[in-house]
Amino acid sequence: MKTKQILMTGALALSMVLSGGMLTGCSNSSTKDTKTTEVTKKKEVKTLGQKTKDSKSLKITNSTGKKITVFETKSSSEESFSDNLLDDGDAVKNKEERTLYYTVKENDKLDVKVGLQDQDKTFVFKDVDPADTKKVDVSLKDDKVNLDVTKKDGSTATLTPSEDSAKTEDEKKDEQEVKQEEKKEEKKEETAKADSSNKSNTSESKKNNTASTSNSSSNKNNSSSSSSKPAEHTHNWVAQYKTVNVPEKGHNEQVLVQAAYDEQVPVTEMKAYSICNDCGADITGNTYEHVKDHMINDTGNGGYHTEWRETVVGYNTVHHDAVYETRYVVDSPATTKQELTGYKCSGCGKTKAN
């Protein structure tokens, strides 16, 4: 009896040890799964610009076939663009979509500058309407970047870069140097005119009053001081435009599909006809003579039979009215136009209203 109790006690202890090991194994497996889940990180979503409480956003897709390496924005009333929103080494790949975060001043629109990899050109787009823009697709055509804008109502419009935005930095520097040289030439001409005027005044003063040496000396001093003054700046006003979307116009009109016409519908009746048994001819009303000919000429047995046939006995006129359908006709397709907003001096940057 004691031996049986000892064996049962040992078996129970072994069972508890094995159960504890199984529980420990399950616990370790669960811990590993949890750690694996914690290690797994979500893929980082890239954006353009920083999200703030005042910022707005829209979707930007690169469809140029190249990498976008320059992307800058500014409010339309600001003079200069922000720093490049793309960090060094970062680029928007072809077919990649990103969320652009930007901030514009009240009642302002958004200006965008885009540059592609291995190109010295950048493209500037002015007056993108934030309130009416849902997403923007950056495309490339004839070596020029375009913005294909999808509005919130689903319609689309293509924005082209501003007139001088596609020029290289070297071309812009050359133009600035040419303008500076022109300004220098203008200053020289103005100075020469001022010197000539002062000399003429001095000469007349000498003729009129040769005794007034002090006045002559004063005129010379005035001439010298006048020639040393810098020439006044002359504004070179350049017209400024914004892109305005012109919606499609059209109207509904009734289009004739089938003209009115009258149809002649036949009226039929079943009528009896006498048919020759020998030749199959219709001998209605002439049975005797026809059968007789067959018998005289020995060309048949001289019999006939009756057939009922549907026969047209007249016509009914059925009138059909004209058929119309409503079709939408486009009078003028949707397009864009350039609207004058004011003027800006190419030299000093001062602006004036239209």
Domain ranges of the chain: 47-163, 168-234, 261-320
Range 47-163: architecture per CATH: Sandwich (2.60)
Mean per-residue pLDDT for 144-157? 89
**Pair 184, 194: CB distance under 8 Å:** no
The band of 200, judged by pLDDT with boundaries at 50, 70 and 90, is low
Q: Pick from 95, 87, 47: which is nearest to 70 by CA?
A: 87
Q: Quote the pLDDT of residue 196.
A: 67
Q: At what angle do helices 169-208 and 213-228 cross, to 10 degrees?
A: 170
Cα dihedral 122, 123, 126, 132, rounded to 10, equals -120
Q: Quote the pLDDT of residue 2.
A: 44
Q: Quote the pLDDT of residue 221.
A: 54
Mean per-residue pLDDT for 164-180? 64
Cα separation of 296 and 300, whole Å?
A: 9
